[in-house]
Chains A and B, each alone.
Chain A
Amino acid sequence: MASTTEYFDHVLILYRSVCASVNLVMRDGRPERALLKLNARSGDFDLYISEIVFPNELRKYAYYVLRQKKVIAGFDNAPDPEMLKLKYGPEYVQHRLEPLPHMHGVDKMTATLMDCMDAEQFLAWVQTNLALRVDS
């Protein structure tokens, strides 16, 4: 991956080029970790991006798409105990606190395991699966 600064710059440029409005909520770079939080509006959907990047390229993220304050989908890699059980079965306790990429469905009523995602892939998912109008 490019440097964290370049990655965050890329994310901002991408979202600003695609979404009608982008609100940079937080951007904080420290020697040991960097944080980006932004909200964006595209079509009828509100997108919420939160991400921490560490020097060893570990990323922790939470991306949500909402419509009228209702969660349509969410993607994160928090160590969700239900997801850990699903992936590791009875041995899941040995993996507690381990980042685990997964997706939440409408109103977070469902959850499924998936591959790791980044902010660009999240935007592509939204555009593909929710047929967004592109405001450029």
Chain B
Amino acid sequence: MKTLKLNEPYARVLEHLGDVQKHVDEALYRYALQQAQQQVLDLESQVQQWEDRYGCSYDLFAYRTAVDEAYVHELNAQPETHMWEADLITWEFYATELRAWRQQLNTLTMS
């Protein structure tokens, strides 16, 4: 449990509604849920571009580029995928963030 300061005007309004803590919790829950949902949507959109480009998930792409020499040769040979290593790390960044935000969203909705 963390302690937060509540601005006086908000506190006054909530006091008139009854249990201040309950109202603050409800408001923060809705805000956190909305922010987490927006993050997930934005990150899904980012990740989609690489999934479309390479026709697979990040996990499969990372696995194939780490173990499949023929696949790596194929990527290196095609001008449009010459810079696949840059895609790999950028994709990793957003795929990992997406996983974390889905977990946050799941935690919120289960709480």
Contacts and interface: CB of A to CB of B under 8 A. Distances in A.
Contacts of A35: 89-90, 93
A91 interface: no
- Residue from B62, B77, B85, B93 having most chain A Cβ neighbours under 10 A: B85
B90 A50 contact: yes
A116 interface: no
Interface residues of A, number: 29
Interface stretch (A5-13, A75-83, A124-132): A75-83
Contacts of A62: 83, 85-86, 88-89
A64 B67 CA distance: 23
Nearest to A34: B93
Chain B contact surface mostly: helix
Interface string A60-92: 111010000101001010111110000000000
A37 B86 contact: yes
Chain A contact surface mostly: strand
Interface stretch (B13-21, B27-35, B48-56, B68-76): B68-76
Interface of A: 26, 28, 30, 32-33, 35, 37, 48, 50-52, 60-62, 64, 69, 71, 74, 76, 78-82, 96-97, 104, 107-108
Interface of B: 62, 65-69, 72, 76-77, 79, 82-83, 85-86, 88-90, 92-93, 96-97, 100
20 contacts: A28-B93, A32-B96, A33-B96, A37-B86, A48-B83, A50-B89, A50-B90, A52-B89, A52-B90, A52-B93, A60-B89, A61-B89, A62-B86, A71-B83, A78-B89, A81-B66, A81-B69, A81-B72, A104-B76, A107-B82
